[in-house]
């Protein structure tokens, strides 16, 4: 199904396709640094379809991934792998955000000790994530 989204200043508007209405939380140190808290994200099946990319800026955050944001208001727009076609979009930028179900928490072994989500979710450590993505350590 199609879901629409936009940044805070509305200069960036887009739509994504999702297989199911689920979102995940990432507790890794890069997401924490980038967003100030754990990242709540939705997997976009075939990337992000932007109405206009003029204000979309991309930051290369690691050897394997990039993070996109609005160059006018700073809203975070996506996380994507450089290889393949894996895209995550923050839950909060989607119009339908309240209808998604909290599914999985990843990098739970990196989570700070001073907060916990009360939701019952699937929990994955860094090792679990690397195994699931078939990466070599």
What's the rounded Cα separation, in Å, for the pair 125 and 77? 25
Question: Of 1 and 52, which has the nearer Cβ to Zn ion?
Answer: 52
Question: Of 31 and 89, which has the nearer Cβ to Zn ion?
Answer: 31
**Looking up tokens 């507790």, which residue turns up?**
27
* Least Å from the CB of residue 27 to Zn ion: 7
Neighbours of 122 (CB within 10 A): 12
Q: Which two tokens stand for residue 49?
A: 């379809």
* Least Å from the CB of residue 97 to Zn ion: 17
The DSSP secondary-structure symbol of 89 reads E
* Least Å from the CB of residue 65 to Zn ion: 9
Residue numbers of the site for Zn ion (CB under 5 A)?
Answer: 7, 9, 11, 26, 28, 31, 70, 72-73
Question: Of 80 and 99, which has the nearer Cβ to Zn ion?
Answer: 80
Question: Of 1 and 82, which has the nearer Cβ to Zn ion?
Answer: 82
Residue 108 backbone phi and psi in degrees, to 5: -65, -25
What's the rounded Cα separation, in Å, for the pair 65 and 86? 10
* Least Å from the CB of residue 67 to Zn ion: 10
């Amino acid at each position: 199904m199609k879901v629409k989204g936009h940044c805070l200043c509305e200069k960036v508007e887009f739509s994504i396709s999702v297989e199911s209405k689920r979102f995940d939380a990432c507790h890794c140190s890069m997401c924490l640094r980038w967003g100030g808290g754990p990242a709540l994200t939705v997997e976009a099946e075939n990337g992000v379809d932007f109405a206009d990319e003029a204000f979309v800026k991309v930051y290369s955050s690691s050897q394997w991934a990039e993070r996109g944001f609005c160059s006018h208001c700073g809203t975070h727009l996506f996380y994507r792998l450089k290889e393949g076609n894996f895209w995550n979009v923050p839950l909060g930028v989607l119009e339908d955000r309240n209808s998604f179900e909290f599914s999985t928490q990843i990098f739970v072994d990196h989570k700070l000790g001073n907060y916990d989500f009360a939701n019952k979710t699937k929990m994955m450590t860094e090792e679990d994530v690397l195994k699931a993505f078939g990466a070599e350590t």
